[in-house]
Structure formats: C-alpha cells, structure tokens
Structure 1
C-alpha cells in the first residue's frame, strides 16, 4: 500500500516510453515516473531552495545532507556508497532555485540500496556541526594567524575564476532584483563566513519536507515499488503539508535599465570590454515561452548566416560573447545578446550595431527554412539517446524537473510533439517570428550591461578577505583562540576515525558478473565500413574517420587547428555563412572530433572523424553533408580566418585559470605517453606558444595566407589518409546509411586526387615512435585563488598482468587516503588517484586546492599510508567495486558503436578485457601493495601544478608563466 495516487499517464511513442504522474494527497509530494525499457534505472529527489543571501546555505546544505543521516549515522555515506555500489551515476546539484539529489544504476538491488541511503540523507540528515566546519567554512589558525578553511569555501573560490560566473551574477542581480536569483546560490566566499550552523539547520527544516519534494524516476522498474519505499521511509515519519515554495517573479520594470559588471581578467587588455543585452521573458515552465525563446535563438543566432551572428562576426571589431541566446536557469526565461573583445570606444558602437540588426530582422524576418530546421532540431533532441557526464535517461529527468518545480505541465517537458505541431502552423505566418523580435525591441524588461575587464579582480577579493580576517582576529580573545583550536582538533580527530561502513548496504565482487559486458555488435557494410543496429528512436549516425597517426609532432598543432576551424569555414561555391546555413538546414548535428589514443603496444593512434546525424528520413542529407565537407573545402576566406583565430586566442587567454586543472594533468602525464604528449601539444600548456604564433600570423595579410596554406596542406594530408566509415541506426538503417556515405564520399574525394603528395607529412614518424621528455617539475601560473596539483608515474598499460591491480590501487588510494588528506583535512574540493589503462599513466591530483606544498607532501603520505595499513577485505572489495562500476557503465547506443570500433582499433581483444577484469576481481591487499612498491613508491615521478599565486611554497616546482608562454 502506498500513499500515492496516479493522476495521469501519457505514452510517448517516439521515446518508446510513458510518463506516469502521481500525487500524495496528504503531503502534496509528487512522483513522476518515466517508464521505459532502457538499461538504467534513475532516481532524483528535488527541493525548491530559494536563499535570500549569497552565503551558500543551499550549497553547503547539499554537502552536509550527504555527510550522515538518521538511519546511516556514518561519516560521509555518500562517498562510502560510491565504492559500495555499481551506480552509473551519483551526485547532488545546487541550482539557482533548487537542489537535486540524483543517481542511476543498472542493478535493481543496487537501485533500492541507493534509494534508501538517498531518502534518509535528504530528509533526515544529521547536519553535524563538525561536518559544517569541514564542508562549509571554519576559522583556522595557520602559523598563529586566522584563516578561512572549508570545502565549499574553496570550491567557490575556484568557481569565481570563471569570468562568466561574475558576468551572469551581475546581470541576474539587476534584472531579477528581489528574487532568489539575485543571490549566488553556490555562495560568495566573501559572504559564506556570515552563515551559521543554526541558520543552515533552519534552512533544511523550512525547505526539505515531503510537501516541497518532487520525486522523479525512470527505467524498467515499478513506480509502485519505489513509492512503497518512499512511503515507509519518509511519508510515514514526516506528516503534514506546507505551501509549496515557488521562486519569486521579478517585476517588469517601467523602463529599460543599465549597469556595469567587472569580470576577472589576467591582463585587462584594452580590447577586453564587452556589451550585453538581456531580456526578461515569460515563465520558463510555459512550453510556448520556452519554444518561442528557442526560436529566437535559432533564428537570430543559430548558424553563421543567422542575422545577429553574422552582424556580430562581421562588425569589423569584437566577436559574439560567450553569453548569447535563451536560458531557463530562472523561473522567468532570459534572452541574451552580447559582444566581447571590444575597446571602450567600440562598446557603444557594438550596442548600436546589434540593435540595428534586430530592427532589420523585425522588418524582414528570417528564411522559413531556418525556422523549419529549428523545429526539426526539437524533434531530434527529444529522440536523441546520446549521453554525457549524466546518463541520457537522467538528463531527461533533470531537463523536465524545472518545469515540474515551477508548476508547469511536466508531460509537455517530456513530449513536446503537440506544441511543436502548433508552432509549425504558427511559423507559416511570416509575421510570427518578426513579432517575436519586435517584442524584444519594445520590451521595457531589458538590461544593458557594460562589461569591464579587471586585472585586480582577485587581488581585490584577496584584500577584502584579509581585511575581514584582520578585523575578526583583532576581536579574538584567548577563549576564542582556544575554541578554534579545540574545534580544529575535534574535527581532525573525527576525520581520522574509521568509517563504520558496515551500517551501509553494498554490492560485493561476488554479486557482479566475472565476464566483461558485451560490446555492440558491428557488421561489415562495405570496404572499410561498419554498421551497428541500435535502439536509436529513429535517429541515424555516421562518422567518416581518417587515421592521421602518421602526422609528425611538428604538425600536431596545425592538425588540431584544422579540426577546430573546419566546420566554421566555407565550402566550394559557398561562403562560410551560406555553408553554415545550408548545413543547418540539412542535418541537426555535424562536428569534427580529433581523438588521441594508444594501441595495446603503445603506438599513438590519431583519428579525425567527420560526424553527422539526423532523423532517419535525412539519410541522403547526412551523406551529402559529410561528402561535401570532406571533399569541397575552401580556405581562402582570410577575413573569416582572422576572426576565428582572434576568437580562439582571446578565449584561450581569458580561460587560463579555468583550464589550469587540465593543463597540469597533461603536463604531468606527457613524459610517459604519446597520447598525453599529443594532447599537451594541442590542448595543454604546450599549445600556448603555437597560440602566440598564429596570433602573430593572423595580424598580417601574408600571415593569413600562410595559415590558409597550412590548413589546405593539412586537409590534403587528412583526406589522403586511410579512412573508415562507421554508421548506426534502427534496424538496418546503419547499413543503408554507410552505403550512401561511401558512395558520396568516393565521388567527392576520388582516389586519384594526388593528395598523398603533401610533402611535410609523408614519411612521418613511425606510429610507435615516442618522444623522450624530461619529467615535469612545473608550477603553471595564472592569476587565481586556488591551485590544482598533479603527480604522475609511468606504469604498465592494459594488457599487462598488473593493469587490473593498478586500477584497484588507484581506488584504494582515493577512498582510503586522498579523500581524507586532501578534501577533509586539506580543504580541496577534490582529491583522487587514477589509472589510465590506455596510456599506462598513474596519477594523483587535487582540484580547487587552497594548498600546494602540503598537497605534494600528502601525495607521498598517501603512498606510505597504503603500504603501512592493514586494510580489511571489505575495504579492498570496495575498491574493486569502484573499478567495476566504471567498466560496467552502459554506453548510449551510438556511443556503444563507437566504443566497440575503438576497442578493435586499439587491439583490445576479448582476452585482454577478460584478463583485466580477472585482475580486478581477484585483486588482494598484497597485490595492491606489490604494485605500489614496484611502480610508484620511490620511482621517478612527474609533477605539474597550476599555481594560483607564486608567493606560496611551490614545493620546488619551477614557475612557468602561462601568459608568457603565448609570447615566446
């Protein structure tokens, strides 16, 4: 017997699913279930969290809720369950107006284990004071001086390195005043210390109640079974009902407003100003508001020929800003238009230029084909099964959640077919889109933001923090110091206590299959062509992949630049703008992907894939687009090249701090693996001198001609390389599409073109060649308030008998040593070890870390701890399950096709996969200690950190100024 009553059920044939909606009449709790036959079962519970301050209370509460609960009074049950479960996803998210606790699993017993833990965590958390000090913020004494510490405190210091964070908060604070959106839901580190433990507990009591909750689930599982557990664990214990919290609506102002927002910049160059126009539209839960906003984005900005994109890219100054188009983070939909890369004098010109472009569109409209393609894209997006960081089925729940929480029609959030059909009729009237644009022009709910770069942004925040600490320290008495020391000691003692994991449910190695999961079957579809039959909801996918492994290292940056720019350039007979508009009308998805992997023998494998996908009725279009972009390039639009390169350079320079973690990881691993060397040279700190070089070349006509010639040379070498066609779709759609693609590509790129004569890539390095590099010992520096630290070793790759044990060793190090040393005690947002079986690189790293030298000392301490500790069988088994969790995570259907082909390309045979899994499942504590001694302890290590400032102890690392690297 459950408390829930079914309200309605709605079938969605295009998804082969149905939406079931339930309500608990007593509390008002809602349960929305997406029933389907997929491999994964997903769950989330969400609460409206509407803070009225930027002290991070919603975010810190999200952390604390997962730090122990009534039925599971365990320190950190969330992280404990990550190693006791085969979950394909576990996390929690704080948004501007809601907090969400989601997970997914392919195992029904595991699903209900996690459901029990999540329900107790959300509704009955301990909210321990010491956890508040650890996860939120606390005072500490460092060398006798007062300092701030805390996981969320440091996490948000890292978040503030993103200029877009500052820009968005500046816009929301003015456009949405007197609403929760005017505050930083993650927390401003300058305000977080104003939050008290009592305030946090009150926030939980007022926001986390069944009457506020929305439960969402998906997969091949009974809604009633889930409801029984919710009723028993939650509803029976928390009676009563309270009015549901809904975020406030901002008032529509009588006249447009303006403001100025300062954003962090490394140099605050003269051309780093910007201008943003932002509009407040209707409620985002209204499907017509959402679709109209999507139409505005598609019609004004959707491709290179779209009027606002074209106007901004051809203005002769600046470029489109990163913040453009519609977004539904708030209860009211926002629409943004902006330009960046401006001088002070160009700001008013850019504003007038965008406004004039809008006025022209209001008079002339856009081609009907543009709007028809936008609606086609909506159908495609509803059917697309591809996933990312979050599994696809969970993505669907998360996308529908805001509509449910803002009291909209949640069925329409899953199935937009009826609304899209209505919109198809509406856009037949040429005035429909014009009126949408006229609405923007006439709206008083508009904000004009001048964006100012600030090289002193972090310095000012540091000074403000020091001033507050100095004020607090001046008021400290002996009793206060004693209290701080006592709390620090109590917290440290608690962190050293073993976690009583026996109270938590778990999956054991004996519960999982000894055999690797089955890969997607591929069938030949012609010469060097393969196809997969997948559950794709009527979408078809195709890749034409060129093996470019023979490119010498000197050409790697040019190859990467080619892959990045090619789809933004023209085709024979069409300008880049016309080509982009044509391609958008032809297919909903097109991209180039350059992938670096290694074979089981250690050979570098470089693959450049031209990829397109669309509805099954668009097979001919998919083949035509692929053949055209492969066989009919043009590189003679020099103004376009100059614009694209300037944008790339500026985005790279402005993003140095945000990219610091990746730069450090690639620099540390590059000495040990060809694939890491390639990535460092094309995406890491090693790419920065090339960035500086193309910036100089793009400044002159002769230099642009050189760039164009280099790109043409690279293209010739690419299409002369061996190629493979990979396709997938429902039934035999993949085979049919593979044949069409092969036919059209063969016509577009005849074998007699003579492309193989490209001189600088013929006779290239052997694919087994490996550049010998010295070990890294670098502190990569750009201005920031946090660090990212990495240490790496060369270890055997997959195929070696120790590979499985090394994977388990990484998990044991993470969960039994680094989590405590780096996160709980050190205050870093993240700390972990990882083993990359494809490259044989073993590493330990920290993320958004307030320390540097102390972290490197803790890396060594972690190795010592693993060798000195007598772990229980359960702790080793948890590490084993953590590895299995990654191995058994199902791929989205098309991703499974690509993964199966990639396994074969690398030479990873079924025998190698079985050997690796056997090594994982059979791993013992002695095995872990053996590989740590053999491959890590005392062996040469490569160290690279991103250092937010160079005044700290750098642990002997040599400073590398990232800005200076671009000027070499």
Structure 2
C-alpha cells in the first residue's frame, strides 16, 4: 500500500515517512487527530512483532509512584476485570516478550508475538490496562503492589508490606544500585531527575491513594502517549483497531509533562552517601568513587553514538587507557564506566570500586590528568579503529539476545521522541557513523574529551561509602517509627488496621470470577504448530575434529564456537578453569601485548568470549560434560584472521604478567559481588543444587559461592600465591587446549563452509595432541542447608532436589507444571500474599528441580509455601479453557525466537546432552496433550522433593540469625 504524508488512515494522520536502510524498514510517524496520540510504525519483514505504549511520567518525589503505577495498571481493567490479566497473559499467550518498564522519566508497556491473532490480543489487554485500570475503584491494588500497613493481630507489631516496597529494599541493598540511583540526584538537583522513579523504601510509605490516581488521570492520556509498532504486521488493521477500540473515545488535551533542562553548574558538586555492610566485614577498600559528567542532550544523534563509543574506548576494552591508568594507580580494585542516554541530559560516569574515602582527590586528579594526556598526545588510532569497528559490527548484526530486536529499536526511538525530536533520529546510524569514522584521521575524539569532559563544570563526584550495621539501623528506625505510629492509634483504629489487613488477604486469596477470566482473549490449541522446529545440525569432521555445522542465513557472519572438554582437569584445579576463562584475551600473548590483542580482536572480529559450562546427560545429572567454550564471531571474509587470533590465544597466552593477573582477579571478585546481590535467587538455587547434584557441585565450584570464596582467597593472598596461580593456570590450559577435547560448533551458510575449512587448518597446527585421562571427582553431598549472610534488606529463598533419585522420570508435563507452579501457586503465595518481588520454579531433564524467590521479605514462611505446594497440586482441578491457557503459555517459552547464533548454541547443547529430535517432539506432544489429572499425579513428585529438605537462604543476616535453628551452617558471604 502507498501512503501519502498529510493523509489520514483510520483516524491517524501521516506526518512523516522515511526509509531506514539500516533496518531494511520503512518508518512512518502518525498523529491521532482526535486524541493527539503519537504513533511510530516501523514496517519490515521481521515476524517477531512488537507493540509498546509509553507515557512521559516525570516523578515529583521518590515515593516510586510511576513504578507502582506500572505494576498496578496491569491488575485489572474495564474490559478485563480479572485481578491480574498480566499473569493470565504470561500463562496463556504465545508472547515472545511481555513486561512493563519504569525509566527515570517514562513508563513503557511493551509486548511481542509472532502470532498475528495473539499480537492483537496482547495489544488489546495492554491498551485497556493503561487507559481504564481498576485502580480508581479498588484501593487494595495500591496496598498490594505499592505499600500498606500490615497488622494481622491487635498485639502484633505493625510492619510495611508491598511488592514494590520489597523490590526497592532489594535494589537499595546493592551498593552499585545505590551509586547509580544517586548519580542523577547529584547532577540534577532542580529537575525531575533528582527523584527516584523506582521509589526509595524510606519514602514509598508517603504515597497516598489520592496522589496515585491523580498521577494516572493526569499523565495516562493519549495526548501524553507514544505508541510504537514494529514488524511485518498489517498496518491498516492495527491502526483501525487502536482507533476504534480506544483512541476515538478521547479528546486531545494539554498535558504538562515537560522535562526541564538542568542549568549547567558553575562549579562541580560533591556528594557522599552510605551503604550497609555486615558487622563482620572490613570497611577498608569498600568505598565507591564516581566522577559524573552531563554530556549534551540525547537529541543530538552524533554525540549520542560518539559517546557510546568513547565510553567503551576509555573504560571498557582491556586496552582502555583511562581504566588502565586507574588500575595501575591502585586506587581501587575494579574500574567501570557507564553512559546513560536514556534521559534528556545523558551522563557519562567513571567509577572506581573497592577504593577508600581518602582516595577521592587522587582519583579526580588522575582522571583529568589522563584525559588531558590523551588530548595532548592523541589517542592511539588503532584503539579508535577497534572501538568503532566493534560498535559497527554490533549495530549491523542487530543481535540483542533474548530481547526482541524491535523492542531495542523502541527504546532507541524514545531517546529522542520523548523530548519532542524525530523518533527515528537514533535508528538510522550510517550518516552519523561516517562522521565518527573521521576520528581515524583527525582529533575527533580528543575534541569531544576537551569540550564535554575537561572543560565541563556540570559534573559531580559521588562517593558511596560503607557503614557497618546501617541496614540494622534503618530497620530499627522503621520499627520505632511504626511503634510510635501504633501508639498514637486508638483501639478502634488498631482494629480497623487488623480488619484492613484481613480484607486485603481475602481479596488476594479470592479466586477470579470465571466470567472475568473468560473475557481475556485466548488462542486455541489449533493455533499452535504441533511439530517441533527442526534443529539445524549437520555432523562433519575436519582435521579429525568433530564439527557441528548449523547452516542458515547469517548475513555474512560466521559464528565459530570451540568447545573444549575439561573433564581431564584434576579436581583441585576446577576453579582454575573458570579463572582461565576470565584471564584469556585479557593478558598478553607471545605476539601481542594485551592492549594490542584487544585491538586486534575488535578490529577483525565481532568479539571473542570465554566461559565455562557443564552439560548434563539428558536424564542423569551424575553424567555431565564440562566445557570451556571459546565463542567468536567475524565476517566470513575475516575468518583467516579470526583463527589466527584464536590460535595465538590458545597456544601463546602468557600467565607471567603479575600486575595484570592481580587486576583481573580483583575485577572477577568485584563482578561476582555485584552478581550475588543482584541475582541472589539464581545464586541460592545453584548453591542448594550443589548439595546433592554432581553437575550442581561442578557449577558451584566454577561460578557459585564456592568460586567467589576461591577468588577472595586468591585476591587476599595474591603476593604469596602468585606463582601457584600462574602455575595452575598454565597446567589447566595445557590439559584443556588439546585436540582430544575439542568440538567445533559453526553457524554459517553452507556456501561459506569452504572458507571455514581453509582457515581451520591453521588453528589445528597450534593445538596440543596428547592422550588425556578423564578424572573421577569426589564431591561432598551432605545436606548443608546454609544461611548465606549479607547486609541485604531482603532474602532469596531456594529449595531443591533431584526427582529422578526418587524414582520419577522427566516428561513434558513438568514444563506445564512449571508454568502452573510459577505463575499460579508461587505467584499468589510468595508474591501477592508474601510481598516478594518474584518467585519461580525450574525443572530439568536430568531431574534437578528448584523453587526460588526474589527480593523476598520472608524466610520460613516461604519455605512453608514450598512444602505445601503438593497440597495445592493434589487438589488441582482446571477447566478445559484454563488448561489450554497453561499449555499455550508453556509453548510460548519453548518457542521463544532465537538469533542464528542462539540456534547454533541450542543445537550444540542438544547434541552434547544427547537430546534427539524425537525427544523434543515427545516433550511437545506431552505438553499439548496434558490433562488436569496429569498435574494432580505430580503432587507426589513435589512432595517427595520437598521432604528431602535441601534448602538455602541468601539474605539479611539479622533475619537469618533469628531463624538460625533451622540451618545447619551460617556463612558470612563477604567476610
């Protein structure tokens, strides 16, 4: 269909049309004439369609109002009055993405699906949610999702409870989160950015129902909305639906949601905030120092992309000169940077972690001296070429992992559109990239550094320093505040509070009216493809090495993964396999020093990464295949250079650079600390699995708490252990990099296979060829049942066991059970009633099963919920419609869209685990044919697993010590 600018289409006037060659797409901007809504339609041949509606929502305080509202509007609406349509969609749609996101100044509601009918259904529910939510007639939504006073009995103490309240307690437990949340406050004291849109737990209880609904009525209007559509959908059908179902009922209004600019500082500011550490932790080397610069406006596309590249160049690559200078000065143990361009005035931050308070002046001086030296002497052109090349490769590849490509483009469009500029400003990058490439022959980046960093007074130094027992202090303050509040209440008011708590629980426990559930649109099983997708895999042999070829269109990119078996590594060296994966590519080789090596990788490839993995035999966790994986990508024409670099890394890496090794070990420790605090649910689930599972034990030694303790010991005694570290890395590398261990996984078009063959020969000449003996590892499987102590304000509660050890077998029914347990039982019991931010279950083919919670205020209550899951299942009943929903929701996870590289990795995992196509088809058939009685029969499996009583809790040291009688061991994580 031909469109004309100025013409109207189903109530939408076309105001701009532009081809976006970089995306092979046509972009069209519309304005809804009656309501004033703006709409961007990016049309191309991507079948993973994306819809999003975004509102400009600048906060006026730190009560977390935008964030709580983001949760709340998805708790029922006019046409879909069920209490939680979001969960119903998660259970029963073919979505490839379903979520909502609160940013500093906007709230986004994106969905994605490859099924046309499903896509319209999701759009319908989301539009109804944002325009007609139940928050006006149901105050309990704010109480549940935001905060409320909790008082079950008159004699009890009052507490605060609420999903977002606990989510943000968890967020504020991480010093990195505190740092990044306070950066904006230090730079924008006069604008909306000084407030935390997510919510500060100390301020959240100030939010009232009146402010809550007023915020929605003011800002959630089409005149303040930005609607986005992407993919190969029917543009006229979508415009017609949005107009007729929703927008035609609204008149255009003036909405005051403008984002003001912060006037530039006349002189820099300094701020200091504290974060909590445990009483047993040392305060030394625990301070964060950051230098933060306001860099122009996000509506400048050239500055936007140039500073993305400059941040990488200065602070992220191993050759990054600013990072190198800070590490060599020994100011801290980790250095990282960020460039936040999701706000009107972007911010570049330089961060040193594990420093000390007295280092602040030296830190500032060194940053500015290094930047000045770079401008005076000029930045190494090879470093510039490397940074520009890797960015260009990623832009052209368009591989964003599990995130739909269209969603990333939506976020990019908002970085200009929200501030009244062209929404396609950051989507077309060729012209801007051409300007930036002049840096290869000019002082382009040097000028940027001078103008926006060296001569920029609009900056801040933010120090985040540790304080022992701060979390406990805050808890006592809250407790005293609530005690004082209760004292001033009359008996009637206390009774009313008890009644309110009970009424909220009744509301939360009540089942949805079946008629309300039936209003949520649902596909039928006939809409689902009954056949499993064929996994692309052709077995070949080159140079006597097995090669798995995954032939598909890759846009002239080769994805070459080398999987080295590590089962010949002695047990005491297992953690060194993981350390080796962190060292490779970051230290020098015979041919390149580590900076030149980094540049070579970035100039000639799309990246080379190393990581450890262990694949279980499909039905036995005691038989597993540990691997060190070298993942790489490059343009097909660059394969000879790729394999030359891979050979150099494998054969000639030098482990003799003492200072560099120390820097890497410190960085590994730092990143593990971040991970433990941010992904505690995964950490706890992995830890408890290690109590009984051989593959679980192996993974724990490579990436879990055991590995963190190993790295902590190396870092703390580095000078005494350096020779041992070097020797063990050398030993591990010699054992691993051997022809006998190698399996190659290649994702490429078959026509390009010859180019691989020719390049691969050179690599094989550089790999050892010895006979190796596989090791038999002896692990301790005693039930440790640990409390892992941190200063976190919340818990992560995990319980697990292997159901095959109890005589049960894996079937596809367990994947449907996972959907039911996670999104029905645990959602209601742990999240809705318990106030945790989340809870989930996992079921593996090898028999390992876990339940785990995320940012959970509870501990023993959650364990009790896990233990009683079997009762829920033994009484399970379901209508045909509900079972259809669970099946569709399960299939949507099984059919998640994948990039070529992801398809190759999945096919390889199936090959190693000996999962055949018939296994996948059998699993799918079992999912599609499941009956309620099949779920009921699984209650004994869950009962048996929970009765084994293997559990682990990571979290608040005070809460865990209160219940220490249930634990076998208490472990100080960071001591």
Contact 1:697 1:707 in 2 (8 A): no
Contact 1:361 1:437 in 2 (8 A): no
1:724 maps to which residue?
743
C-alpha distance 796-393 of structure 1, shift in aligned 2 (>3 A): farther
- Structure 2 CA distance for aligned equivalents of residues 212 and 110 of structure 1: 26
C-alpha distance 14-650 of structure 1, shift in aligned 2 (>3 A): closer
2:214 maps to which residue?
202
Mapping 1:179-578, distance limit 5 Å: 179-243=191-255, 245-266=257-278, 267-322=281-336, 324-425=337-438, 427-430=440-443, 433-499=446-512, 500=514, 501-522=517-538, 524=540, 526=542, 527-578=545-596
Contact 1:306 1:581 in 2 (8 A): no
Tell me the SS of whatever aligns to 1:61.
helix
Contact 2:803 2:809 in 1 (8 A): no
- Aligned match for 1:779, one of 778, 787, 790: 787
Taking structure 1 as the reference length, the TM-score comes to 0.94
Matched, 1:958 2:967: yes
- Structure 1 CA distance for aligned equivalents of residues 474 and 758 of structure 2: 58
- Aligned match for 2:872, one of 865, 872, 885: 865
**What number of residue pairs does the alignment pair up?**
951
Tell me the SS of whatever aligns to 1:332.
coil
- Structure 2 CA distance for aligned equivalents of residues 548 and 239 of structure 1: 66
- Structure 2 CA distance for aligned equivalents of residues 280 and 118 of structure 1: 35
2:887 maps to which residue?
880
| Between 529-538 and 125-134, the greater mean CA deviation after superposition | 529-538
Contact 1:801 1:916 in 2 (8 A): no
Contact 2:569 2:736 in 1 (8 A): no
C-alpha distance 332-694 of structure 1, shift in aligned 2 (>3 A): same
Listed one character per residue, the Cα deviations across residues 865-895 of structure 1 (whole Å, up to 9, x for unaligned) are 2212433333333322222111111211211
Contact 1:778 1:957 in 2 (8 A): no
Tell me the SS of whatever aligns to 2:292.
strand
Tell me the SS of whatever aligns to 1:544.
strand
C-alpha distance 487-464 of structure 1, shift in aligned 2 (>3 A): same
Contact 1:64 1:135 in 2 (8 A): yes
Contact 1:799 1:916 in 2 (8 A): no
1:612 maps to which residue?
632
Contact 1:246 1:405 in 2 (8 A): no
- Structure 2 CA distance for aligned equivalents of residues 361 and 652 of structure 1: 32
1:759 maps to which residue?
none
C-alpha distance 380-410 of structure 1, shift in aligned 2 (>3 A): farther
| Between 376-385 and 489-498, the greater mean CA deviation after superposition | 376-385
| Between 132-141 and 714-723, the greater mean CA deviation after superposition | 714-723
| CA RMSD of superposed structures (Å) | 2.5
Contact 1:542 1:737 in 2 (8 A): no
Q: CA deviation at 1:850?
A: 0.8
C-alpha distance 64-28 of structure 1, shift in aligned 2 (>3 A): same
Q: CA deviation at 1:485?
A: 1.9
C-alpha distance 418-932 of structure 1, shift in aligned 2 (>3 A): same
Contact 1:17 1:34 in 2 (8 A): yes
1:61 maps to which residue?
69
Matched, 1:897 2:901: no
Q: CA deviation at 1:523?
A: 6.3
Q: CA deviation at 1:164?
A: 1.5
- Structure 1 CA distance for aligned equivalents of residues 320 and 849 of structure 2: 46
Mapping 1:12-91, distance limit 5 Å: 12-91=20-99
Contact 2:873 2:938 in 1 (8 A): no
- Structure 2 CA distance for aligned equivalents of residues 191 and 281 of structure 1: 30
Q: CA deviation at 1:961?
A: 4.2
C-alpha distance 191-598 of structure 1, shift in aligned 2 (>3 A): same
Contact 1:788 1:946 in 2 (8 A): yes
Structure 2: gaps of 5 or more residues: 1-8
Contact 2:382 2:599 in 1 (8 A): no
Contact 1:831 1:846 in 2 (8 A): yes
| Between 804-813 and 782-791, the greater mean CA deviation after superposition | 804-813
Contact 1:319 1:340 in 2 (8 A): yes
C-alpha distance 955-493 of structure 1, shift in aligned 2 (>3 A): farther
Contact 2:803 2:847 in 1 (8 A): yes
Taking structure 2 as the reference length, the TM-score comes to 0.93
- Structure 2 CA distance for aligned equivalents of residues 470 and 596 of structure 1: 51
- Structure 2 CA distance for aligned equivalents of residues 333 and 525 of structure 1: 51
Contact 1:668 1:942 in 2 (8 A): yes
- Structure 1 CA distance for aligned equivalents of residues 578 and 343 of structure 2: 37
Contact 2:569 2:732 in 1 (8 A): no
C-alpha distance 218-856 of structure 1, shift in aligned 2 (>3 A): same
Listed one character per residue, the Cα deviations across residues 746-784 of structure 1 (whole Å, up to 9, x for unaligned) are 233254xx5x5xxxxx43335xx7846133422222121
2:843 maps to which residue?
835
Mapping 1:623-772, distance limit 5 Å: 623-653=643-673, 656-700=676-720, 703-720=721-738, 721-729=740-748, 732-733=751-752, 735-749=753-767, 751=769, 754=770, 762-765=772-775, 771=779
Q: CA deviation at 1:551?
A: 3.2
Q: CA deviation at 1:435?
A: 4.7
Contact 1:163 1:265 in 2 (8 A): no
- Structure 2 CA distance for aligned equivalents of residues 4 and 654 of structure 1: 47
- Structure 2 CA distance for aligned equivalents of residues 815 and 797 of structure 1: 26
Q: CA deviation at 1:28?
A: 2.9
Listed one character per residue, the Cα deviations across residues 762-817 of structure 1 (whole Å, up to 9, x for unaligned) are 43335xx7846133422222121111111113124999864212222222223332
C-alpha distance 685-338 of structure 1, shift in aligned 2 (>3 A): closer
Structure 1: gaps of 5 or more residues: 757-761
- Structure 1 CA distance for aligned equivalents of residues 790 and 324 of structure 2: 33
Q: CA deviation at 1:595?
A: 1.4
Listed one character per residue, the Cα deviations across residues 292-336 of structure 1 (whole Å, up to 9, x for unaligned) are 3124213322422332122112113424434x1422132111111
Q: CA deviation at 1:946?
A: 1.4
Q: CA deviation at 1:843?
A: 1.9
- Structure 2 CA distance for aligned equivalents of residues 543 and 869 of structure 1: 45
C-alpha distance 957-395 of structure 1, shift in aligned 2 (>3 A): farther
- Structure 2 CA distance for aligned equivalents of residues 958 and 798 of structure 1: 24
Contact 2:784 2:968 in 1 (8 A): no
| Between 591-600 and 536-545, the greater mean CA deviation after superposition | 536-545
- Structure 2 CA distance for aligned equivalents of residues 614 and 19 of structure 1: 30
Contact 2:276 2:471 in 1 (8 A): yes
C-alpha distance 932-170 of structure 1, shift in aligned 2 (>3 A): same
| Between 720-729 and 223-232, the greater mean CA deviation after superposition | 720-729
Mapping 1:774-813, distance limit 5 Å: 774-796=782-804, 802-813=810-821
Listed one character per residue, the Cα deviations across residues 324-357 of structure 1 (whole Å, up to 9, x for unaligned) are 1422132111111232322344332222222211
- Structure 2 CA distance for aligned equivalents of residues 804 and 51 of structure 1: 46
- Structure 2 CA distance for aligned equivalents of residues 98 and 304 of structure 1: 34
- Structure 2 CA distance for aligned equivalents of residues 740 and 798 of structure 1: 51
| Between 224-233 and 943-952, the greater mean CA deviation after superposition | 943-952
Q: CA deviation at 1:112?
A: 0.8
1:152 maps to which residue?
164
Contact 1:799 1:912 in 2 (8 A): no
